[in-house]
Amino acid sequence: MSAKRKKDSGQPELPIEGVPPAASVEKKQSAASGNGTDHVIAETVETPIVHKPFDPKKLEAGLHTRVDRGFLDYASYVIRDRAIPNLADGLKPVQRRILWALHEKDDGRFIKVANVVGHTMQYHPHGDASIGDALVVLANKRYLIEGQGNFGNIFTGDPAAASRYIECRLTELARTEVFNDSITDFIPSYDGRNQEPVTLPCKLPLNLMLGTEGIAVGLSARILPHNFPELLEAQIAILKKQPFKCLPDFATGGLMDARDYQDGKGSVKVRAKIKTKDESTVVIKEIPPTTTTESLIASIEDAVQKGKLKVKSINDFTSENVEIEIRCHAGVDAEKLIDALYAFTDCEVTIASRIVVIKNNRPVELTVSEILRENTEQLVAILKRELELREKQLLDELHYRTLERIFIEERIYKLIEKCKTNEAVLASVYEGFKPFAKQLIREIADADVEKLLQVRIRRISLFDINKHREEMEKTKAELDETRKNLKGLTKYVIGHLETLLGKYGPLYPRLTTKSARHEEVDVKAVAFKSFKVAYDRETGYVGYKVSGEEFKLECTKFDKILLVF
């Protein structure tokens, strides 16, 4: 091949694997035959890369490190910032951001849900569908968000209307017990354009009030909802150092057996509330949680198809309240049908509880009692901070009112008439207050002087000393009451809880009936004889769905047949 190349072409010789490179010879081209430059000399090939055998115990590749680190970051994000609620306020991040958006837009009137979703997206780095769904769930919990329009039906499972057709606003309970901007810590939002709360200074045990489910990476939580007034009573008992016990309460009602609840580490059995209408008709009035009327009817129809039940008709009359009417065939006892419904359908469900929350940026598993004690300690701390803040505000108010009275009564404002510079004005005001230093709550500061200089002439001319004294007395009385509450903090917190209990107790009655225990249903005893067994002499077959006329027998799926030839 080299023989065909043009002479002095300037083409470098590249080395061939396995062939030793030839000695390079530098040649200088003449101006007539070349460009006067030297030939390019290729480098010799280094020793080929040796591939080491794969050893899983010695992983040094950068890609593995990045994948490992990335997965841990993703898992931590899902656990802390998406799926698991925080112990401090009982909310998942999306719920907290929804409530904060409602708080910022709150003016007492209903707001279109689409607007709330759009405002929440300033803080929540995910799609609008997840925000809208979370808002509907919060509204159906009844405690924090009041809805107007079609927010779906928790009994039938019907979805809510589109967000542009429904409206919502904060409840009074949420306004007074969840927010306090003065003691809220903030962090930048995901894009750095806004500030969002780390957690809300919530004075309610929302973890147990709302209940929640969350599935994270390698971790899941299922907190069952509890009755709000009963939680308040339990917190009062904690402060009084008395025993207490809290059990779940579901919005769909039902009959609950909580023998295995184990303070939130076990499970509960919940049955539908079924009443006998007449000898052949039963009516389901309440359904278990995790079911809807549609899914419950589907489970009954499935049991009928499998021969576990004998039902003539099923009619669903559910609207605001559940009403599923079931008619059985003639000769079938209604009481036996009720037992069969519990045994073979979703009229009885078992719900496991696993309370996992984020505490100090880490997931922890707690019991109901531990959650309530943590919430009660937080309630005491928040009310103490609010009282201390109010005490400081009242002291500042008394201080300014005292300055204002002296400034007007002693006509200190006259001293600044001849002053020509700002420094001279400040100096004259400071000088004017020196004889009255003992009357002041604290030393006068530049901010106080600036505030006094903003007092209008009209305010000075209409100053009423008697009215001013009355306002001072009211402020002093409130300050004394605040200091008294700080000294008797536990008594103050108990009074706060009792006020909530008296106001909201009648509004949130228990919906799930607590029963001591459910009688175990013997499935063999309540099974209906739905299988017809016969013998076909021509084919020699004996069994179910055999078209024979001999030895016809009705039996259940649990019966055993002995054939003797």
Q: Which residues of 413-423 are buried (b: 16+ CB within 10 A; e: fewer)?
A: bebbeeeeeee
Host H or E run for residue 448 = helix 446-453
Active centre residues (catalytic): 165
Residue whose pair of structure tokens reads 């079931």 in the numeric block: 326
Structure tokens at 547: 């078209």
Per residue, the 3-state secondary structure of 118-131, as one string, reads HHHCCCCCCCHHHH
Q: Which residues of 86-110 are buried (b: 16+ CB within 10 A; e: fewer)?
A: bbbbbbbbbbbbbbbbbbeeeeeee
Enumerate the β-bridge partners of residue 212. 223
The CA distance from 221 to 383, in Å, is 29
Structure tokens at 278: 């007449």
The CA distance from 34 to 22, in Å, is 23
- 207 contacts 215 by C-beta, under 8 angstroms: no
Host H or E run for residue 305 = helix 293-305
The CA distance from 72 to 77, in Å, is 8
Task: Please list, in sequence order, all residues whose beta carbon lies within 8 angstroms of the beta carbon of residue 437, skipping any fewer than 6 positions away.
Answer: 443
Structure tokens at 20: 């030793």
CB atoms within 10 A of CB 134: 20
The CA distance from 452 to 403, in Å, is 8
Task: Please list, in sequence order, all residues whose beta carbon lies within 8 angstroms of the beta carbon of residue 453, skipping any fewer than 6 positions away.
Answer: 416, 425, 429
Per DSSP, 441 falls in state S
Enumerate the β-bridge partners of residue 34. none
- 274 contacts 347 by C-beta, under 8 angstroms: yes
The CA distance from 247 to 514, in Å, is 8
In 242-302, which ranges are E strands?
255-257, 267-271, 273-278, 281-286
